[in-house]
Structure 1
């Protein structure tokens, strides 16, 4: 392929990636308590429902785009382009969506469901969701290790929405664990509150999209996370313990306090 067609393909892919993400906005970032949320998993005695051998994520997903492929080049260009969002309202939302351990990300799901979801209001559901986050690590890590894709911010000093830490150099980019968590939570909460599916799945999608805005993942990492999350949730439904917890969580959510959020 000559240089001119290749550059055209890269530009087209970059524009397509932009279209898949929420519209970029540059309003001033609002204050948010979740900006101080932990970047890493909080120590817990909980265990997941699944074992690593229960799902072969690497075989299901296949490899990520090669860095010098048209899509790989397009994703790199999109990373460079979205660094201009630093300090915007969308950037702040990406920071809030990072908080899947201390409850910050659950605020969006609570708003979508119209129910207060949390450790005090819905303890069974809260525990179930965090056990699923552990399953994400269990199921996602073998694929991460197999493909070992570097994160987009490795090797450059452009802004990202969370502090740079050494673990980012060894924790691979593909698939995105946050995307897996966000999508699986959206699927499960939609099963418990089907009338709120639109908002709940939008919340789950936003968690993944925010990782691209943040600059810590490529778009194909996010898509792979959603694919693997869907397979994982299907597999979870074959676990009797998960089914028991899900039944309890359904009753609990129905009785949870109402929650309304500003639009």
Structure 2
């Protein structure tokens, strides 16, 4: 009578072990080009405005004004932009801009996005600026909530960083790409999860990370391969600037 029970118990243990192992295999290990050890944001950025400062109150008023004016289309756009990846630029890049056609490009930009988190998350924990919806119950967010520090905005950092790198690959679309990066960042205010100063310092941080990455050989090697693949898929031909 005990044998079937033992068999079931062993089978259950094996199943749990298999699921746990599968989950660990599926979990993606981050592989940034650069980390907070190489960029000191405390020396680069001012501290965030104090909670009771006139600046924070003015920024809160902006959030509430946008909250009152936001349309369903604005809400949907801000929710879609809550995803941190390069494919949010597809509406600028065109129908051929797809992950399955750009494996090298996709791998490269995942490392770019990983670099944002590896730099910014450390300083969010240092400054610990409360999110607007934590500071004021009048703020009604429409995007996924985060309890991490608000300053600087990781999304604004990532959007700016991605925009700069992508526009360096396709300078023909630089204006449109950077406009999309600005919208991507601003949607964090519309979504109710960031103040204006979080966004502005995120743009500064993204610009600094982009500049620092361009000094690294590993980044430049991967950039060149990803750029070649992208321009080939988009049928743009060689970048004229490469021959100058």
TM-score by length of 1: 0.74
2:228 — aligned with what?
251
Unaligned runs of 5+ in 1: 1-41, 259-263
1:98 — aligned with what?
82
Preserved CA contact (<8 Å) 2:78 2:143: no
Matching of residue 196 in structure 1 with residue 173 in structure 2: yes
1:120 — aligned with what?
100
Residue among 36, 42, 51 paired with 2:35: 51
- Give the number of aligned pairs: 210
Matching of residue 63 in structure 1 with residue 40 in structure 2: no
1:84 — aligned with what?
68
Task: Decide which structure has the larger Cα Rg and report it.
Answer: 2
CA distance in 1, matches of 2:90, 2:33: 24
SS of 1:98's equivalent? coil
Structure with a larger share of its residues in helix: 2
Residue among 103, 114, 131 paired with 1:151: 131
Unaligned runs of 5+ in 2: 1-25, 236-244
Matching of residue 214 in structure 1 with residue 194 in structure 2: no
CA distance in 2, matches of 1:182, 1:60: 19
CA distance in 2, matches of 1:80, 1:111: 28
Distance 1:213 1:257, change over 3 A: same
CA distance in 1, matches of 2:90, 2:28: 23
Tell me the CA shift for residue 110 of structure 1. Answer: 2.5
Distance 1:245 1:90, change over 3 A: same
Residue among 141, 149, 157 paired with 1:160: 141
SS of 2:100's equivalent? coil
Once the two structures are overlaid, the 10-residue window that deviates more, 119-128 or 175-184, is 119-128
SS of 1:133's equivalent? helix
CA distance in 1, matches of 2:95, 2:231: 8
2:23 — aligned with what?
none
Question: C-alpha deviations, 1:186-223, integer Å up to 9, x for none?
Answer: 10011000010011001111111000000000010001
CA distance in 2, matches of 1:117, 1:241: 24
